């Protein structure tokens, strides 16, 4: 397959690994900008339904998956409450990288954060431009019930 055969994404993205052994550590592992690169890299990650510690993040290129990043500092997060199966999780990833969620949230989606340290949590992070996220619209986009989402500031005061 040549570069001309690949399918570009609306934004470039980066996968990050999160380690929580003795101290919290995040490390960028790969960047991608096509559908083909996404699947090649995603398939190398552990199955989220089997993760026991640590986690990973998928954020737009140039945004660090940490509340200290200026783009995240005053943003919101939508925590998905039920445990997701692989099919549900991949649906959300496709909606993210394909631009569906960005279109409905005025381009404010920054990324997705998965943490398996105590109990598996999956969060969508939105940038500082978000005054309020319509919980029902977001839930419909990711095929969840609105009561399955908890929207809150990224950084709790």
Q: Answer whether 114's CB lies under 8 Å from 122's CB.
A: yes
With 0.85 as the threshold, say if the pTM is over it. Answer: yes
Could you report the per-residue pLDDT of 120-148, keeping only the tens digit for each? 789 999 986 554 567 777 888 888 887 88
Full strand arrangement of the beta sheet holding 8-19:
25-34, 8-19, 55-60, 109-115, 121-126, 76-80, 149-153
Domain of residue 29 covers 3-153
State the CATH number of the domain containing residue 63. 3.30.760.10
H or E element at residue 69:
none
DSSP code for 84: P
Of 7-11, 44-48, 74-78, 98-102, which range is least confident? 44-48
How many domains would you assign to the chain?
1
């Amino acid at each position: 397959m040549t570069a001309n055969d690949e399918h570009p994404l609306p934004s470039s993205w980066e996968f990050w690994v999160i380690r929580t052994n003795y101290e919290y550590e995040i490390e960028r592992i790969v960047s991608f900008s096509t559908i083909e690169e996404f699947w090649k890299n995603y398939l190398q990650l552990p199955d989220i339904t089997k993760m026991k510690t640590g986690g990973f993040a998928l954020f737009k290129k140039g945004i660090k998956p940490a509340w200290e990043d200026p783009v995240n500092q005053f943003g919101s997060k939508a925590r998905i409450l039920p445990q997701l199966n692989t099919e549900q999780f991949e649906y959300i990833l496709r909606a993210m990288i394909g631009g569906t969620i960005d279109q409905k949230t005025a381009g404010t989606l920054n990324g997705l954060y998965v943490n398996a340290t105590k109990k598996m949590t999956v969060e969508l992070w939105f940038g500082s431009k978000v005054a309020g996220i319509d919980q029902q619209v977001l839930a419909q986009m990711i095929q969840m019930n609105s009561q399955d989402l908890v929207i809150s500031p990224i950084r709790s005061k």
